[in-house]
Amino acid sequence: MASSREYMEYGREQLAPAEGISFRAMMGEYLLICGGKTVGGIYDDRLLVKPTERARRLLPDAPEETPYPGAKPMLLADNLDDREALRELVYAVAGDLPAPKKRRGTERDRARVDGFFESVSARSESAFRSQHVPLKEVLEKTQRDFTFRDVPGTLVCVYYPDYMEGINAPGWHFHFLSADRTRGGHVFGLRMAAGGVRMDRISSIEIRLPKEPAFDTYALKEASGEEIRQVEQRDSTERG
C-alpha cells in the first residue's frame, strides 16, 4: 500500500515554515529531507525516522517498524499534531546524521533491478502525432494507468543530472518490463518481494532527433516544474 498525498500534505503543513525541510516523492512513498539529509519518510501513511541517538531520546517509547520488507527498522513518530515536537525531532535526527555526499552535476547513473514484484503501478500512452502540444496535454488524452500484480520482471532506473533538463526531467526515472516482455510502463509505485540490484555509470547517451522541420521550433523547456512533476514523478494512488 502506497502513502496518500493527503497524509504527506498534513505533515508538510505541520512542519511549515521550518527552514530546509521538505518531502520528496519516491515510488509511491515520500522521503523526509532536512538540510539535504534523508531523516526518514512517510511509508504506508506512517511517519518513520532514522533511529539516531537523539531520536531515541525524544521518542523513548516509540516502536521500531520497517518502511518496507527487508529494510532496516526505523522509529515510528505517530504524533504529527504537535508541531513544535515534530520540528524538534526532524532537526535532531538531521543533526545526528553525517553530511550528505555531494553529487557532481555531471554524474549519469543507471541501475537494473531484477526480481519478483508483488505490485507495480505504472502508466503508458498511445502514439500521438501533433505539433506544439505539451506532453501533459498528450497524456491527458492518451495515458493509461494500470497495476501489475505478482509478476517477475526488471526495473530499469536512469538518473538525469540537472544540465540535461530539456532532454528529460532531472532526477531518477523508473521503468518496468515483465520477464516475458509483454507488460511494462513508466513506474509510479511498486512493492518488491525479492530481487537484486546492479548499478553502473553511464559514459555516453545517444539521442535521435525528429527529422521534421517543425522540431526546430519546439520549446523543449516550456513546461513548468509542477507539470514535469505531474508527468514524471506523479504520486502513486495504488492501494494493495
Q: What are the start and end residues of each CATH 3.30.1330.80 domain in the chain?
A: 109-232
Q: Is the sign of the CA dihedral 200, 201, 203, 205 positive or negative?
A: positive
Give the pLDDT band (50/70/90) at residue 176.
very high
Mean pLDDT of the chain, nearest integer: 81
Whole-number pLDDT of residue 47 = 96
Q: Is the sign of the CA dihedral 213, 217, 221, 224 positive or negative?
A: negative
Q: Is the pLDDT of residue 125 over 80?
A: no
Q: Which of 29-33, 104-108, 126-130 has the lowest mean pLDDT?
A: 104-108
Q: What is the CATH number of domain 5-96?
A: 3.30.1460
Q: Is the pLDDT of residue 238 over 60?
A: no
HSE-CB of 207 using CA atoms within 13 angstroms: 6
Give the pLDDT band (50/70/90) at residue 237.
very low
Whole-number pLDDT of residue 108 = 62
Residues 160-166, mean pLDDT to the nearest whole number: 72
Q: What are the start and end residues of each CATH 3.30.1460 domain in the chain?
A: 5-96
pLDDT higher for 213 or 49? 49
Instruction: Return the number of other C-beta atoms located less than 10 Å from residue 115's C-beta.
Output: 16
Whole-number pLDDT of residue 235 = 46
DSSP label of 212: S
Going by CATH, does the domain composed of 109-232 fall within 3.40.50.720?
no
Q: Is the pLDDT of residue 240 over 50?
A: no
Residues 20-36, mean pLDDT to the nearest whole number: 86
pLDDT higher for 89 or 222? 89
Burial bucket for residue 51 (CB in 10 Å: 0-12, 13-18, 19+): middle
Q: Is the pLDDT of residue 5 over 90?
A: no
Residue keyed to cell 518531502: 23
Residues 6 or more apart in contact with residue 164 via CB below 8 angstroms: 170
pLDDT digits (tens, 9 = 90+) for 44-95: 999 999 999 999 999 999 999 999 888 899 999 988 999 999 999 999 999 9
pLDDT higher for 144 or 174? 174
The angle that helices 83-96 and 5-15 make with each other, rounded to 10 degrees, is: 90
Whole-number pLDDT of residue 226 = 55
pTM (predicted TM-score): 0.54
What does the alpha-carbon distance between residue 38 and residue 164 come to, in Å, rounded to a whole number? Answer: 24
Residue 88 host element (H or E):
helix 83-96
Instruction: Return the number of other C-beta atoms located less than 10 Å from residue 23's C-beta.
Output: 19
Whole-number pLDDT of residue 239 = 33
Residues 133-162, mean pLDDT to the nearest whole number: 81
As a whole-number percent, the residues of the chain with pLDDT over 90 amount to 40
What does the alpha-carbon distance between residue 157 and residue 27 come to, in Å, rounded to a whole number? Answer: 12
Q: Which of 22-26, 76-80, 184-188, 226-230 has the lowest mean pLDDT?
A: 226-230
Residues 182-207, mean pLDDT to the nearest whole number: 84
